[in-house]
Structure 1
């Protein structure tokens, strides 16, 4: 069968590669895709990821049977709604269901009403009220832009100066609310959940992302600077607690709210002294988690999609050992950065997931903020991290053009 992946980043690179490995796929289209995907997919750069009508026509013209939506912008644009109307099987929630990610206030409201453990919060639509609230409650505190912000609309303010500055940056307004949350302290993990109405299948392994830009979890939030899986220093009982007290109740809550969610639900969770709580929900695979988890997964991904569609029970199988990924990002990211800087990763090409690079002849040049996830694998987390950084060392670029964290996997290494 012909299948398509919507999007052009590292997550979509991983999805397209996984679908191309399926014994059931004939042609994999990546819309718009990126140059790194051309090795295993047909890219369609003339279509944007939010062009619902254009994508729908393309799917019908090319006999595409399954579409997997990668980015949140496509979900918010209503692409799943449009494709479903055309009779195309689509893995990704419809526009209203995607509000679980696209609106922090929407998600918080459901969690509060159904008793799903998360940080206490208030929503603000003007700067004065938000400022007064922070002056009253103090810091640390977390500020979140209500809409989509590519993982960068979150400010973790550890003191009053940062918190008040965050109000000036996020600028709460009537049509652009800001959610201010209680700061939760503890160990974080990511859990991917396949959802079809009340049916859920949580991944059997956890991953751990590194959101902050710089070593030691400092600097601004990003889309993700590195990842590893599985996470074994967080006990399996805590993953199961997340399933029992968060995942399954949330799926049922959405059904009770009249929502018909079909797709992956990303749970960003934190282990606190009061148990596991929700940091955030996303309506799509995590990036860079997808690049590691999908590679470790041994199952045929089309088979998995069809089992979720049919609400069949099954188990996912993952390779033994560990996989770690280090993100190379453009200098200046997540703020302003230059494009067009040359990168040579030819010696470790097989261990890289391309997200923001463009091919120019034989050369590769930067074309985004996060440009390349460099991975390594091993029997232990130490071996996997060492392999990833060994591969990073083989990549050549001009100093200052790119940067990366040097402490990926640090929490696991400490045990």
Structure 2
């Protein structure tokens, strides 16, 4: 590790669901002072015993050297704090809209001369069903606004006429009625799903950039419900044709809005082109923790340099990084009774000493024991690194085998797609 230039700095983490515990805890272990605020009431036990918790973050603004918002929706306040001279990592109203308003995101892509897939927004299930009947094709159904947090509602159709999407729309109409809100039908294309991500210092992108492959379904081989994410594989690179065709075109716009933070664009790519799907204009989860496994400098130092608009190069490992969530019931569903019965206060047991590569997620620490808290059942994220994808996988699964958590489950194939995906990407000239 390089010298800890930032040790002794004060970091205030403002978290929506407690997702930034791992990076807050690491920043503390690097010799900084850390305070963590969690907005969601049912997640407020997360982090107890790991870092100092606060109940009113606004009272600690003057105390903090760096303020970090870990989710979208804080863009307005982050901008106001920057204008008041604070060092802030987080969104702006513009970047919040890129993620939260799918139509706005797609319109901005087109404005920056980036090709997008045809999509249409609806508020009525009947209108959407009529649209598919008049325009038969395969579609992806994507909830918008608040409902998009419920990842299991996203549906990727496979029928060429869209009949499977029609069936799902009819089912949602029965179960949700008029409470579903806006949703989008997007034309589906076949290809490799890939995310391009980078840190932005208010003026320009910081290199290298990060190439990520997400594994979203609950079970191996992409079976089961969409969970948001079960694990990810990634690598860092200086150059990427996909980055140049997408995110890089936003450099001037992001600078104009003084965005300081992390931004990611998820794409489907194939032999015909690059098709951006959606933005994540904040840290990705578990992306940031797996990135941390590949960053060989203190994460607090990186955050400080970013927030103070320094120009620098991120010191990263060569090769690959992978990470898998270990989860417990009721994940990925919201069932507070099941959580209390099966998972609340379950202990994370390590067979041998050594927590290297194990990132605390929805945990609290009591008498040095890690206990599961929160309400949705994400226990830990386990990472591995290596010069090949197989090496990184081997390290990660060895670390997982050292952990015992009652009733836990995880995917056994994170990174397996790489051999096939990399061949395709090479042949399309996209690596």
The question of a shared fold, defined as TM-score above 0.5 by the shorter chain, is answered with: yes
Structure 2 residue aligned with 1:344: 348
Structure 1 residue aligned with 2:71: 71
Q: 1:172 to 1:381 in 2, by over 3 A?
A: farther
In the alignment of these two chains, the number of paired residues is: 391
Q: Which one is further off, 222-231 or 294-303?
A: 294-303
Give the deviation of 1:112 after TM superposition.
2.3
Structure 1 counterpart SS, 2:277: strand
1:30 to 36, 46, 67: 36
Structure 1 counterpart SS, 2:393: helix
Q: 1:307 to 1:169 in 2, by over 3 A?
A: same
**Normalising by structure 2, what TM-score?**
0.80
Structure 1 residue aligned with 2:125: 127
Matched, 1:150 2:155: no
Give the deviation of 1:43 after TM superposition.
2.8
Structure 1 residue aligned with 2:405: 397
Q: 1:146 to 1:55 in 2, by over 3 A?
A: same
Give the deviation of 1:103 after TM superposition.
1.1
Distance 1:260 1:276 in 2: 27
Matched, 1:42 2:42: no
Matched, 1:266 2:272: no
1:12-51 deviation per Cα after TM superposition (whole angstroms, max 9, x unaligned): 13422453365xx630222237655744x3233xx3xxxx
Structure 1 residue aligned with 2:388: 380
1:218-242 deviation per Cα after TM superposition (whole angstroms, max 9, x unaligned): 22222210112227xxxx69x6222
Structure 2 residue aligned with 1:245: 245
Distance 2:293 2:45 in 1: 19
Structure 2 residue aligned with 1:56: 58
Matched, 1:88 2:95: no
Q: 1:87 to 1:360 in 2, by over 3 A?
A: same
1:285 to 283, 286, 305: 283
Structure 2 residue aligned with 1:51: none
Structure 2 counterpart SS, 1:72: coil
Q: Say whether the 8 Å CA contact 2:141–2:184 is kept in structure 1.
A: yes
Structure 2 residue aligned with 1:406: 412
Distance 2:291 2:197 in 1: 9
Q: Say whether the 8 Å CA contact 1:157–1:166 is kept in structure 2.
A: no
Structure 1 residue aligned with 2:196: 191
Q: Say whether the 8 Å CA contact 1:356–1:366 is kept in structure 2.
A: yes
Structure 1 residue aligned with 2:100: 102
1:246-270 deviation per Cα after TM superposition (whole angstroms, max 9, x unaligned): 1122233556xx7443321112223
Distance 1:88 1:335 in 2: 38
Distance 1:68 1:30 in 2: 10
Q: 1:157 to 1:345 in 2, by over 3 A?
A: farther
